[in-house]
Chains A and B, each alone.
Chain A
Amino acid sequence: MSELVGYRGPSSDILKKSKVMIGDLIEVATSKTKYNGVLMPRYEYADDLHVVIKLSNGYNIGIDVRNIQAIKRISVGEKPHFTAPPKPLIKPNLPNIAIISTGGTIASRVDYRTGAVHPALSASDLYSAVPELSRYAIIDAEVVSSIFSENMTAEYWKLIALKVAEKVRSGFRGIVVTHGTDTMGYTSAALSFALAEVPVPVVLVGSQRSSDRPSSDAALNLIGAVLVASKAPFSGVYVVMHSGMSDDVLSVHLGTKVRKNHTSRRDAFESINIPPVAYVKGGSIGEVMDGLPPRSDSKDFAARPDFDTRVALIKFHPDFDPEIIDYLTSRGYKGIVLEGTGLGHVGGYCNSQLRLAIEKGVLVAMTSQCIWGRVRMTVYDTGRDLLVMGVLPLEDMLPETALVKMMWALGNTRSVEDAKELMKKNIAGEIGYRSDLERRPAR
């Protein structure tokens, strides 16, 4: 480590002047006392007036540069070396499962010297971090991207979809995609459409508590995802995450019906308008929903990974400025998914802008900001006006899924009419025609 990571201004100056580097054991003399410790990197967002050292008892402290009289190097820092524990014995005859990582760390190890967290990305890293994986599958690991979930775009969806297709064609019996949780629901929808005919399970998984902490949900989620990928009787795209606060049951959510509904809880992911399609508990998959596409031995299938990103998801609200719609139309947008109020409404003062957009060939569809439930635009005049205008009601489809689907529909058709037809068609379970009595079915 040669750079003085995170240091700038006065703190960087004094370290440079003293010719010390991060990882060095140093002595810092202040007006009051002397400290010995290892020079640590500084948080990028912290001030430029403190030097951070790790004392021999493991604690970090910050020393104000204005109190420092001298910094002296005692010894050069040693580079930490990692000796992986022995690889667990892998039983033969286990299915081959590919783990594709996209960013976010599902497994990691901590450098207690510097506090750095190193992601576990290779198969052997994963085995050593989560040895239980060796019970269920022979793992192949590949990194397609290492980005924060919020930086995910349709370009990456395509990259992931193509990688999954390649793995399936080369004989993998199931695919696990590790993903940051913030936009995992969007990616699961995108893969659901792009890989609509995939013959094996494709399982997205993430963690709500970072994998460097003993209480992380990552290991259990990953074990569950590998189990579903290797043993599930169904094919298609799914998200596997905690069902509740406890480390016991995982829910298997349909890729088009899942949403992150909490900022931090382990059970943030919920199936909307349908129950989870299965649960994982104690190493087995249970309560599998009827009617899921079965797993097959075929390796051949068509991936349709193209997305047209000129689509916007617009949330209507009181005092919504309808000129936003005009702006989108004039900027050449091909589609608008409205997140309307209640059963699927926007204020009547938006009608002329919406009419203009549709006349110009923009595909406009309606979902509800209620998240739960179905749009039904025939009940009130407002809705009826929008229907007459040509706004397409999307039943009980999630707004985010509708956005992704519209990008995909426009990316895979030549005309708005064709795209509109595709939007109406149930491709990957995104449309439910019947509403269950219970919103969150009891288990």
Chain B
Amino acid sequence: MVIEGIDYKELGLKVGLEIHQQLATKKKLFCPCEKFQSDTFELSFERRLRPTQSELGQVDPAAMFEFKKGKMIRYGANRDSSCLVEADEEPPHDLNMEAVESALIVALALNSNIVDELHTMRKIVIDGSNTTGFQRTIIVALGGSLKTHHREVEVQTICLEEDAARLTGDSKDFREYYLDRLCVPLVEIALAPVEGSPQEVQEIALSLGRLLRATKRVARGLGTIRQDINVSTKGGAVVEVKGIQKLDMISKIVEFEALRQKGLMEIKEELEERFVKPEDIGQPIDVTDIFEDTECKIIRQAIKEGGIVLAVRLKGFSGLLVYEPYPEIRLGKEMAEMVRFYGLGGIYHSDELPRYGITIDEVESLKRRLEISKEDGFVLLAGPKDRAEDGIVAIVERSKDALQGVPYETRGPTPDGKTRYIRPRPGPARMYPETDIPPIAITKELLSRLEKEVPKPWEEQIEYYMSKYGLSKKLALQVYDSEYSDLFGAVVSKTKIQPSVVAATLTETLISLSRAGFDIDFLDESTLTDLFLSLDKGRISKEAIPQILELFLEGKIGSIEDAIKRLGIVTISEEELLQLIRRIVEESKDLIRERGERAFSIIMGKVMKITRGRADGAKVGTLLKNEIENVMKGEHDSSE
């Protein structure tokens, strides 16, 4: 979706980035398990987390709601990737110093002020993503700055923390997580909010990502880096969008979120013009009796299961629940997304009824009951009593928030670059010390040793790639940003293949395969290494690479060796090739006489089609040129 002419400056767009990057340590943060992603989870157990009371006697509302839902949490565990520590059946072991060092190197690279002594904290999280009910997190450094091409962005905090368990399912009664990712060390870098266009925000994230990769201490691959962004516009609350896995989605998401917030402000202005006040939002009323014989399947089912139907009058809201200042941005949709958090399917509202089996008679009785005039709107929902009650309270709150414009909430990215409601934003972080881990003093000796490990700025590394390997700047950047930059280094040092061929294969070829719909995550480093070794030995030609990779990704072959056998693409010997070329040239004599050198490309095409990747294009070209010249000079030493 491209909306022309949004003036982000006028909108007051501010975006704060928070990057969570997994560290490539041998072991997890508080136990000796290795990170190992698997799909077999031979063990499972079930838990409930309960909100702990704080000194104020209150519990976090989002936390309380999670508990009230009464969902059990089911954890799947794999013996290799988790031990009793991840299961919360054993106290944490000593803090992994390799991870501490990595975080410190990042802090040094960002000129951040490293704290003198590290204190592990417990940050309460009771959605089940941590078996303990809290995430262990340590502030490593404060302040500093990230320098990008165009600007300097202030760093707020750098933390070392444990990653959460992997959510794998969420049904009515169970939420499921796998433990393999739990306790993997993460470095979390929070940047101060910046003004700028969505594209500029994405570039900042890219810069930070490159700086992290330059340390060579961070994990690579999908899911190893996650971005949270805090987006606000003038007059609105800060909206948190959590868990963006693909960097190139950031600008799209910021763009959507800016537009959504702009739209919500326009709805607010409309409500202001109608003089709607918070007290105009009514009290929820139980209207189950109106729907006793309803034809609406969802409501009928809810009542049959002992549930209730609740409705609330929204004075002055007529038409505003479907009003779309921009495509797909409307209050009705926001509310429907919101009640899903409370385990309800959605809402019905005045601007869309009668519909979905709800009759005009039902709507009319509802309007009488709620005392609705034609300026007013209403929202209706059905479900189990406790869920419906929580849901309608959320609707009342959301309607009041509409008078303010943009509410404070947590949203998540959608695959198409938009955002959707996830949950209310939690109150201030509830943190208390992790008494199982003693504080760790950061010594001057340690810091002066780590200072030597601070990487050169990534720009210098790009220049190094360009000068040493003769890569274009574009290719150098692509290699640097790709997951295979280490593999690139290894291949060019081990083989005599031209670096640009290796770089183009690892970037452009893979990107085009990915665009063609192949899942390139299946390509592991050892397969790619085999590919390059075969190329180096002359067993395959570089022209055959795309075809081999396609076969591999289609699952038709299990290894590069299979591919060579299957395609018969052992390179043709020079002798064979010469004979082939001579034969084709002989057959094309007329063409050559007629067209001269211009016949070259046609004949070249014929030869390449026959060799199907078994011959090196450059070599074919040289030999062919020679032969054509011979024919043209009439000096051809025919073997006839």
Q: Which residue of chain A lies nearest to B443 when distances are taken between CB atoms in the complex?
A: A64
A45 proximal to B (CB < 8 A): yes
Given contacts A115-B433, A264-B91, contact A82 B117 (CB under 8 A): no
Q: Which of A40, A62, A213, A266 contacts B116 (CB 8 A)?
A: A62
Q: Which residue of chain B lies nearest to A42 when distances are taken between CB atoms in the complex?
A: B439
- Give the dominant DSSP class at A's interface: loop
Q: Which of B116, B159, B431, B435 contacts A112 (CB 8 A)?
A: B431
B117 near A266: Cβ-Cβ < 8 Å: no
A109 near B55: Cβ-Cβ < 8 Å: yes
B175 proximal to A (CB < 8 A): no
Q: Which of A50, A58, A61, A82 contacts B431 (CB 8 A)?
A: A58
Task: Quote the shortest CB–CB distance from B53 to chain A (angstroms).
Answer: 4
Q: Which residue of chain A lies nearest to B123 when distances are taken between CB atoms in the complex?
A: A58
Given contacts A57-B157, A244-B45, contact A33 B119 (CB under 8 A): no
What residues of chain B lie closer than 8 Å to A35, measured between beta carbons? 142
Given A82-B56, A245-B45, A264-B90, 19 other A-B contacts at CB below 8 A? A33-B142, A49-B441, A61-B116, A62-B119, A62-B439, A63-B117, A64-B117, A80-B56, A83-B56, A109-B53, A111-B432, A213-B122, A213-B133, A214-B50, A215-B47, A247-B46, A248-B46, A263-B90, A264-B89
What are 12 A-B residue pairs whose CB atoms fall within 8 Å in the complex?
A46-B439, A52-B117, A57-B139, A57-B429, A58-B429, A59-B139, A62-B118, A63-B115, A110-B52, A110-B430, A220-B48, A264-B89
What residues of chain A lie closer than 8 Å to B123, measured between beta carbons? 58
A245 near B50: Cβ-Cβ < 8 Å: no
Q: Which of A59, A67, A111, A128 contacts B55 (CB 8 A)?
A: A111
A84 proximal to B (CB < 8 A): yes
B480 proximal to A (CB < 8 A): no
A82 near B57: Cβ-Cβ < 8 Å: yes
B439 near A50: Cβ-Cβ < 8 Å: yes
Counting chain A CB atoms within 10 Å of each CB, the highest count among B115, B134, B138 belongs to B115
A58 near B121: Cβ-Cβ < 8 Å: yes
A231 proximal to B (CB < 8 A): no
Report Cα–Cα, A49/B442, bound state, in Å: 12
What residues of chain B lie closer than 8 Å to A323, measured between beta carbons? none
- Contacting chain A: which of B124-132, B355-363, B394-402? B124-132
Given contacts A33-B143, A110-B54, contact A215 B132 (CB under 8 A): yes
A109 near B90: Cβ-Cβ < 8 Å: no
B99 proximal to A (CB < 8 A): no
A58 near B428: Cβ-Cβ < 8 Å: yes
What residues of chain A lie closer than 8 Å to B89, measured between beta carbons? 245, 264-266
A241 proximal to B (CB < 8 A): no
B52 near A109: Cβ-Cβ < 8 Å: yes
Q: Which of A50, A110, A219 contacts B432 (CB 8 A)?
A: A110
Task: Quote the shortest CB–CB distance from B204 to chain A (angstroms).
Answer: 21
Q: Which residue of chain B lies nearest to A65 when distances are taken between CB atoms in the complex?
A: B116
Interface flags, B297-327, vs A, CB<8A=1, else 0: 0000000000000000000000000000000
Q: Which residue of chain A lies nearest to B429 when distances are taken between CB atoms in the complex?
A: A58
Interface flags, A251-275, vs B, CB<8A=1, else 0: 0000000000001111000000000
A142 proximal to B (CB < 8 A): no
A213 near B441: Cβ-Cβ < 8 Å: no
Task: Quote the shortest CB–CB distance from B359 to chain A (angstroms).
Answer: 41
Report Cα–Cα, A244/B134, bound state, in Å: 22
B49 proximal to A (CB < 8 A): yes
What residues of chain B lie closer than 8 Å to A47, measured between beta carbons? 441
Task: Quote the shortest CB–CB distance from B451 to chain A (angstroms).
Answer: 15
Binding site for A on B (CB under 8 A): 45-58, 72, 84, 87-91, 113, 115-119, 121-124, 126, 131-134, 137-139, 142-143, 157, 159, 428-433, 435, 438-439, 441
Q: Which residue of chain A lies nearest to B125 when distances are taken between CB atoms in the complex?
A: A214
Q: Which 8 A-B pairs have the closest CB atoms?
A: A214-B133, A62-B117, A58-B431, A64-B116, A109-B53, A60-B119, A111-B55, A83-B57
Tally of A-B residue pairs with Cβ under 8 A?
152
Report Cα–Cα, A64/B118, bound state, in Å: 11
A169 proximal to B (CB < 8 A): no
What residues of chain A lie closer than 8 Å to B142, measured between beta carbons? 33, 35
Q: Which of B90, B113, B121, B134 contacts A59 (CB 8 A)?
A: B121
A112 near B432: Cβ-Cβ < 8 Å: yes
B50 near A128: Cβ-Cβ < 8 Å: no
Counting chain A CB atoms within 10 Å of each CB, the highest count among B52, B132, B438 belongs to B52
Report Cα–Cα, A109/B59, bound state, in Å: 11
Report Cα–Cα, A62/B438, bound state, in Å: 12
A349 proximal to B (CB < 8 A): no
Task: Quote the shortest CB–CB distance from A34 to chain B (angstroms).
Answer: 10
B117 near A61: Cβ-Cβ < 8 Å: yes
B87 near A214: Cβ-Cβ < 8 Å: no
What residues of chain B lie closer than 8 Å to A50, measured between beta carbons? 116-117, 439, 441
A85 proximal to B (CB < 8 A): yes
Those of A15-55 within 8 Å (CB) of chain B: 32-33, 35, 40, 43, 45-47, 49-50, 52, 55
A128 near B53: Cβ-Cβ < 8 Å: yes
B46 near A115: Cβ-Cβ < 8 Å: no
Given contacts A82-B55, A109-B53, contact A213 B117 (CB under 8 A): no
A113 proximal to B (CB < 8 A): yes
What residues of chain A lie closer than 8 Å to B435, measured between beta carbons? 43, 115
A163 proximal to B (CB < 8 A): no
B54 near A112: Cβ-Cβ < 8 Å: yes
Q: Which residue of chain B lies nearest to A209 when distances are taken between CB atoms in the complex?
A: B88
Interface flags, A332-345, vs B, CB<8A=1, else 0: 00000000000000
What residues of chain B lie closer than 8 Å to A84, measured between beta carbons? 57
Task: Quote the shortest CB–CB distance from A185 to chain B (angstroms).
Answer: 19
